[in-house]
Amino acid sequence: MVLTKTQPHNHAKLHKRDRRKQILLELRLHPHVRITDLAERFSVSTETIRRDFATLSEDGLLHRAHGGATAPSQGQYPSFEERSTARIEEREKIGRAAAQLVRPGDTIMIDSGSTTLQLARFLAFANTPCTVVTNSLPVAMTLGRGDAADVILCPGDYLASEAAVVGTDAIEFLERHSVDRCLIGASGLSETGPSETVRGFAAIKRAMLRQSAKSHLLIDCQKFGTKGLARVGTMSDIASVVVDKAPTGELAMALIDARVEVLVAR
């Protein structure tokens, strides 16, 4: 990235949240951003920019490269639409079982995903009265078809491929709410915990975990033992996993060691 002379430097230092928003904006405009350029632009040290990169990389929002960073690629990970039409029977079982965890009057957070969409369907079918905070348009629309759920949709940067919002605004919004439980999905579940491949989703899931008294992971057995781009959390962050098949081997032992309840959907 080359900064032109028409781009003014910020004389007043930005808060780190706003600075990171600007970094992500630059990545929309340029394929590569350099640490030295950004440090000069924001009047901060190169170490500060490196720390920004580390945080944004952990959230899956950029790829760190030599001397700078690039925007992440989704690679071969299937889109939301593709995932929604695969393994439907397994996802329905998990969604139905997860819906039974929600009690009338609960406040909950539901993230975007093909399996959590099934959860939303069964909550709507059951007409369970609850308050739902979500970053997913399909989840909000599905719950909105009934009259029992109060739905709160996060603001944020719209990710068209996932029909969901991500980014700093969404995370800040989540952090202003505290709920009884969250129900989230993940791209993978290994002995170290759940992980995510979709850009920006890991940060959303981490915020939901922090703001919930109890957390539930919805995941099908094909994702056992796999690791996505960004780590969501550790096993100890999860109260239970709702699955279509019981894990085995090292993954099963890690769940037992972390005292995570395994709920097998039937």
Structural domains for the chain: 16-70 (1.10.10), 80-264 (3.40.50.10470)
Tell me which residues of the chain have a pLDDT lower than 70.
1-12, 60, 72-86
Reading the block at residue 175, the tokens are 């952090």
Query: What are the start-end ranges of the E strands in the chain?
Result: 32-34, 63-65, 68-70, 107-110, 130-134, 149-153, 157-159, 164-166, 179-184, 188-190, 193-196, 212-218, 230-231, 240-243, 261-264
Question: Strands of 63-65's sheet, edge to edge?
Answer: 32-34, 68-70, 63-65
- pLDDT of 82 reads 59
Query: Which residues face 70 on adjacent strands?
Result: 32, 63
Give the whole-angstrom CA distance, residue 152 versus residue 143. Answer: 10
- Start-end of H helices in 30-113: 35-42, 46-58, 80-84, 88-99
List, for residues 57-72, the tens digit of each pLDDT value.
Answer: 777 677 787 788 877 6
d(CA 106, CA 53): 37
pLDDT, residue 32, reads 82
pLDDT value of residue 72:
66
Q: What is the pLDDT of residue 3?
A: 44
Determine the pLDDT at residue 83.
61
Whole-number pLDDT of residue 56: 81
Q: Contact, 203 vs 59, CB < 8 A?
A: yes
Helix (H, G, I), strand (E, B) or coil at 182: strand
- Tokens 């709160």 belong to 152
Cα atoms found within 13 Å of the Cα of residue 46, Cβ hemisphere only: 8
